[in-house]
Structure 1
Amino acid sequence: MGLRRFWRHRVFGSVSVLLVLLLMMLLAASSLHKHRELEPRAAVESPNQRRTAERHALAPNTLSAPGVERGRERMSPPVAFLKTHRTGASTVQNILFRLGERENAAFAFPSHTLQFHYPERFRASFVDELPLGLSEFDLLCSHMRLDLQEVRKVMPQNTIFITLLRDPIKTFESVFRYHTSSVPAFLRAHRAASHTGRSALSIFVESPETFWHPNETRNGLAKNPLSFDMGLNHQKWNGSWPEDLARLEEAFHLVMIAEHFDESLVLLGALLGLDHEELAYVRLNARARNSITEMDEKTQAKIRSWNVLDTLLYDYFVQVFWEKAAQFGLERLKLETAGLRGSVEKVRQRCISRSEVAPGELEDLLRPWQTDTATIVGYEVRGNLSLQDQGFCVRMLLPELQYHSHLYFRQYARDMRAAPAD
Structure 2
Amino acid sequence: MLAFLLLVSVVSVVIMLEFELTVNKNSWHKYFIWDHHRRVINGTQAKCTEGNNVCNKTNDNISVPSPTQAKCTEVDYIVFLKTHKTASTTLASILERFGYIRNLLFAVSKSGHAFSSSKLFNRNMLPSLSSLNSKGLNASSKRTGYHLLTNHVRYNRPEMDAVIHDAKYTTIIREPVANFESAFGYFEIAKHLGLTSHKNPIETFMKTPKLFLDKHFYQWKRAKNGQLFDLGLEHESFDDYYTVKYKILQLDSEFDLVLITEYFDESLILLKKLMCWSFEDILYVSNGIRSASHRYALNDELRAKIREWNSADVMLYTHFNETLWKKIKEYEGNFDKDLAEFRSRQQQAMNKCIDDERLNKNDRREVKYVLKPNMKKSIFCQNLLRDDVAYTNLIRNKMKQYGLYLSSSPKKSVPILPRARKPHSSSRRRHRP
Q: After TM superposition, is the score higher than 0.5?
A: yes
1:411 aligned to 379, 399, 407, which one?
Answer: 399
In structure 2, how many angstroms separate the alpha carbons of the residues matched to 1:327 and 1:214?
47
Q: Report what 2:162 is aligned to.
A: 153
In structure 2, how many angstroms separate the alpha carbons of the residues matched to 1:332 and 1:124?
41
The answer as to whether partners of 2:376 and 2:382 remain within 8 angstroms in 1 is: no
Supply the RMSD in Å over aligned alpha carbons.
Answer: 2.5
In structure 2, how many angstroms separate the alpha carbons of the residues matched to 1:356 and 1:123?
42
- Number of residue-to-residue matches in the alignment: 322
Unmatched 5+ stretches in structure 2: 1-72, 135-140, 408-433
The residue identity in structure 1 corresponding to 2:370 is E
Structure 1 residue 271 corresponds to structure 2 residue 269: no
1:240-281 deviations in Å (ceiling 9; x for gaps): 322221111111000001111111000000111222222111
1:4-153 → structure 2 map (5 Å cutoff): 75-130=74-129, 131-133=132-134, 135-153=144-162
Q: Report what 1:375 is aligned to.
A: 365
Q: Report what 1:177 is aligned to.
A: 185
1:94-123 deviations in Å (ceiling 9; x for gaps): 111110012111001123322112211111
- The structure that has the greater radius of gyration is 2
The answer as to whether partners of 2:279 and 2:342 remain within 8 angstroms in 1 is: yes
1:379-390 → structure 2 map (5 Å cutoff): 379-385=369-375, 387=377, 390=378
The answer as to whether partners of 1:166 and 1:258 remain within 8 angstroms in 2 is: yes
**Structure 1 residue 211: Cα displacement:** 0.7
Structure 1 residue 394 corresponds to structure 2 residue 382: yes
CA 1:215–1:352 in structure 2 vs 1: closer, same or farther (change >3 Å)?
closer
In structure 1, how many angstroms separate the alpha carbons of the residues matched to 2:373 and 2:358?
17
1:336-376 deviations in Å (ceiling 9; x for gaps): 1111111100000000113671424xxxxxxxxx3xxx521
The residue identity in structure 1 corresponding to 2:94 is I
Q: Report what 1:195 is aligned to.
A: 197
CA 1:111–1:199 in structure 2 vs 1: closer, same or farther (change >3 Å)?
same
The answer as to whether partners of 1:116 and 1:127 remain within 8 angstroms in 2 is: no
Q: Report what 1:164 is aligned to.
A: 172
TM (norm. structure 1) is 0.71
In structure 2, how many angstroms separate the alpha carbons of the residues matched to 1:416 and 1:269?
31
The residue identity in structure 2 corresponding to 1:264 is S
Deviates more, 1:161-170 or 1:294-303: 294-303
The residue identity in structure 1 corresponding to 2:390 is Q
Identity of aligned residues (%): 26
Q: Report what 1:62 is aligned to.
A: none
The residue identity in structure 1 corresponding to 2:86 is T
In structure 1, how many angstroms separate the alpha carbons of the residues matched to 2:149 and 2:387?
17
CA 1:166–1:386 in structure 2 vs 1: closer, same or farther (change >3 Å)?
closer
Deviates more, 1:124-133 or 1:218-227: 124-133
In structure 1, how many angstroms separate the alpha carbons of the residues matched to 2:273 and 2:370?
31
**Structure 1 residue 205: Cα displacement:** 1.3
The answer as to whether partners of 1:180 and 1:187 remain within 8 angstroms in 2 is: yes
2:354 aligned to 352, 355, 375, which one?
Answer: 352
TM (norm. structure 2) is 0.69
Q: Report what 1:227 is aligned to.
A: 228
